[in-house]
Amino acid sequence: MIQKYLYGVPFDTESVVAPIPASQGDPPVGTVKTSESGFCFACPLAEGDRVYGLGEANRGINKRGFVYVSDNVDDGLHTENKQRMYAAHNFIVISGQQNLGLFFDYPARIRFDIGFTRRDWLEVTCERADLALYVITGDSACDVVKQFRAIIGRSYIPPKFAFGFGQSRYGYKTQADFEEVVAKHRQAHIPLDMVYMDIDYMDHYKDFTVNPEEFPDFSGFVSKMKEQGVRLVPIVDAGVKEEAGYSVCDEGKEKGYFCKRADGTDFEGTVWPGWSHFPDVLNPEARAWFGSQYKALTDCGIEGFWNDMNEPALFYSPERLKAFFESMDELSRKDNIVQDEFFGKVVGGALGLMNAPEDYASFYHNVNGQRVRHDRVHNLYGGNMTRAAGEAFACLRPGRRTLLYSRSSFIGSHRYGGIWLGDNASTWAQLLANIQMMPNVQLCGFLYTGADLCGFSYDTTPDLALRWLEFGLFTPLMRNHATDGSRMQEYYRFADMLPALRKMLRLRYALLPYLYSTFMKAALENTSYFRPLGFDFPADPDAREVQDQLLLGEGVMVAPVYTQNASGRHVYLPEAMKLYRIRSVDDYDTELLPAGHHYVRCALDEVLLFIRPGHAVPVARPASCTAQLDDTALTLWACPDENGSARCRMYTDDGETSDFAAPEHWKTLEA
């Protein structure tokens, strides 16, 4: 059952698309207090309650015991103390004595104290008592999530090539760079479907432009790459460079489509292009205009994009920079400064230039003729940039699927694109964080997700690269991405690990019939792709405790190794399962393991795949790209049930058009 409670005058975020009438009185759980100083929802947590959700957030699958803040921020240092990340996913599920979902439909900063101040207490607070609260009760956590997914609308479905492997690096600058990457993948017999283009492909970091010197015939280059089975996927940033004669800037200013200061002038902030304006993507007219700009690249044959810097990130504003220089001028006239001045004014002042709250409070959106201060709708910006592109593609590429994902997001933007989990780091802790974040992101509707394999910043190691791939081969979005200046981490560079890396990437393609079918079922039927063990085994106390194993669709459990130098790991099986210890699609061992606790050996070049009783996994022959994958000649890996039966449902389509619902796409396979 779903109940909606309205407080104050909520901003219409359009996160919920189903018509839910407002209920009168108080919610059936917890207490709500509203005042001029804000909103507070509070309820007790029983000893055995687990709290899932919040999507892209730090720490474990069970969120109990910490404070989380939805206030989208460009911060690539994802240490455990960080309360904020790139996204705002304000949905939680309390599972224990009851199964309860809570969605706080609020577009600004909101704080979740989940058993931090008091272990037995949940408290959700925000500064303005203008929001909608959705309370969902169900028979199970799965039931609660399915109801929630039904009211927020179908999750975005990418083209099938998007389930292939993509290579990326901030630092590829020239056509020769991209050609070399593709050639070396092919020479090393590493499957490849996409190469991503970071900001250096642009003409001076201007959105929707291409460097004419490095890419003199961009359309021809795109076509040449596609002939080799590779799509080029360019980045688009939120900031539009301030430059006279740049058509996007000129037209946006002329039509009033950029965010405004209080005096009506266009707000300016600095990001990669230098001084930049920010399209008012909360204004439907401006959103449609910005989306139409993607045509400059789709006309060149581009079929996929990734949106970035759309929290929106701000390096500094003119006002903040001026104030900082004035404070430095004052300090410069002193013979010496004390430590408090150095760390507080110099270091703190410089760091405080970026993403300053004062800047977010200084510009405005035009929403249906009303002026709305940005900080009061801050969390909607990145999601509406995704919406701008997604809505535009329906016109620019009618009937076709376009790859699209974003760094910043809000529940609702899951209908238009996927997300990646931001600028992570090459650490084992970040691999574990990737594993733990996936089910929570997906229960908030973001099915097409993944993290930067190997890690974006710092220097990866060959063993970390391999272990991360052994998990990443199961995630819908599978991309190796790194920052400029870090170790080159294309898989073909790790000579000692190359045979194992190649086999794991080929395994990904072999498993695509199962992975793609699982994704399509999750998107079309509001079921899950990844989920915690506690969702299927809520009465099993050991299953509820598991934080590092995931159920994948109906028939599979994955248990990645995420510890340096480990040659195995502890695994808990809530039921008997068949273990496939896989070194390649043609080289694996099987073993039927009973329910219970096990230490399972897993060499560095092996991946563990557990198949549940009565289920089968269709396996294809590997291919160099998705276009060459043959899903008609399949092998079934299976774990028969007590009756000797094992089956699976498989989904097949052309992978390009939007005809998803035809029943002939589905067939049942029996082992």
User: Please, which pLDDT band fits residue 339 given cuts at 50, 70 and 90?
Assistant: confident
Sheet containing 530-531: order of strands = 530-531, 550-552, 556-558, 607-611, 577-584, 587-593
pLDDT (tens digit per residue) in 488-504: 999 999 999 999 999 99
DSSP state letter for 467: H
Tokens of 78: 């994802």
Q: Is the pLDDT of residue 357 over 90?
A: yes
The pTM assigned to this predicted structure is 0.97
Q: Which residue has the higher pLDDT, 334 or 482?
A: 482
Q: Is the pLDDT of residue 55 over 90?
A: yes
Q: What is the mean pLDDT of the chain?
A: 97
Q: Is the pLDDT of residue 334 over 90?
A: no
User: How far is Cα 454 from Cα 482, in angstroms, rounded to an integer?
Assistant: 8
User: How far is Cα 143 from Cα 447, in angstroms, rounded to an integer?
Assistant: 17
Given this model, what pLDDT does residue 329 score?
A: 83
Angle of helix 141-152 relative to helix 428-443, nearest 10 degrees?
A: 70
pLDDT (tens digit per residue) in 175-199: 999 999 999 999 999 999 999 999 9
Q: Is the pLDDT of residue 484 over 90?
A: yes
Cβ–Cβ under 8 Å, residues 240 and 258 = yes
User: How far is Cα 473 from Cα 43, in angstroms, rounded to an integer?
Assistant: 39
| Beta strands 403-406 and 418-420, pairing class | parallel
Helix (H) or strand (E) holding 648, with range, is strand 647-651
End-to-end Cα distance, the chain: 38
User: How far is Cα 535 from Cα 175, in angstroms, rounded to an integer?
Assistant: 48
Cβ–Cβ under 8 Å, residues 186 and 180 = no
Q: Is the pLDDT of residue 346 over 90?
A: no
Sign of CA dihedral 49, 55, 57, 58: positive
User: Please, which pLDDT band fits residue 333 given cuts at 50, 70 and 90?
Assistant: confident
The arithmetic mean of pLDDT across residues 282-303, rounded, is 98
Which residues contact residue 322 at a Cβ distance below 8 angstroms, ignoring those fewer than 6 apart?
A: none
Q: What percent of the chain has pLDDT over 90?
A: 94
The alpha helices in 89-217, defined as continuous H runs, are 141-152, 175-187
Query: What b/e string do you get for 251-278 counting C-beta neighbours within 10 Å, with b at 16 or more?
Result: ebbeeebbbbeeeeebbbbbbbbeebbb
Q: Is the peptide bond before 312 cis (omega within 30 degrees of 0)?
A: yes
How many angstroms separate the Cα of 628 from the Cα of each of 164, 304, 607, 632? 11, 19, 24, 12
DSSP-assigned states of every residue in 216-237:
TTHHHHHHHHHHTT-EEEEEEE
pLDDT (tens digit per residue) in 421-443: 999 999 999 999 999 999 999 99
User: How far is Cα 161 from Cα 139, in angstroms, rounded to an integer?
Assistant: 37
120: nearest Cα among 27, 51, 38, 39: 51
Helix (H) or strand (E) holding 600, with range, is strand 596-601
User: How far is Cα 659 from Cα 620, in angstroms, rounded to an integer?
Assistant: 24
38 CA to centre of own chain:
30
User: Please, which pLDDT band fits residue 351 given cuts at 50, 70 and 90?
Assistant: confident
Given this model, what pLDDT does residue 376 score?
A: 98
User: Please, which pLDDT band fits residue 232 given cuts at 50, 70 and 90?
Assistant: very high
DSSP state letter for 267: P
Residue 512 C-beta-side C-alpha neighbours within 13 Å: 31
Cβ-based neighbour number of residue 212 at 10 Å: 10
DSSP state letter for 140: S
Cβ–Cβ under 8 Å, residues 304 and 225 = no
Q: Is the pLDDT of residue 344 over 90?
A: no
How many angstroms separate the Cα of 200 from the Cα of each of 127, 236, 429? 40, 11, 30
Q: Is the pLDDT of residue 343 over 90?
A: no
User: How far is Cα 216 from Cα 195, in angstroms, rounded to an integer?
Assistant: 19
User: How far is Cα 387 from Cα 413, in angstroms, rounded to an integer?
Assistant: 6
Tokens of 114: 């989940």
DSSP state letter for 336: -
pLDDT (tens digit per residue) in 538-579: 999 999 999 999 999 999 999 999 999 999 999 999 999 999
Angle CA 576–97–436, to nearest 5: 55
Q: Is the pLDDT of residue 97 over 90?
A: no
Q: Is the pLDDT of residue 347 over 90?
A: no
Beta strands in 71-218 (DSSP E): 87-88, 91-95, 99-105, 110-114, 121-126, 131-137, 165-167, 194-197
pLDDT (tens digit per residue) in 587-639: 999 999 999 999 999 999 999 999 999 999 999 999 999 999 998 899 999 99
Given this model, what pLDDT does residue 342 score?
A: 82
Q: Which residue has the higher pLDDT, 550 or 36?
A: 550
Angle CA 61–66–68, to nearest 5: 85
Backbone dihedral region of 557: left (phi > 0), alpha (psi from -120 to 50 degrees) or beta?
beta
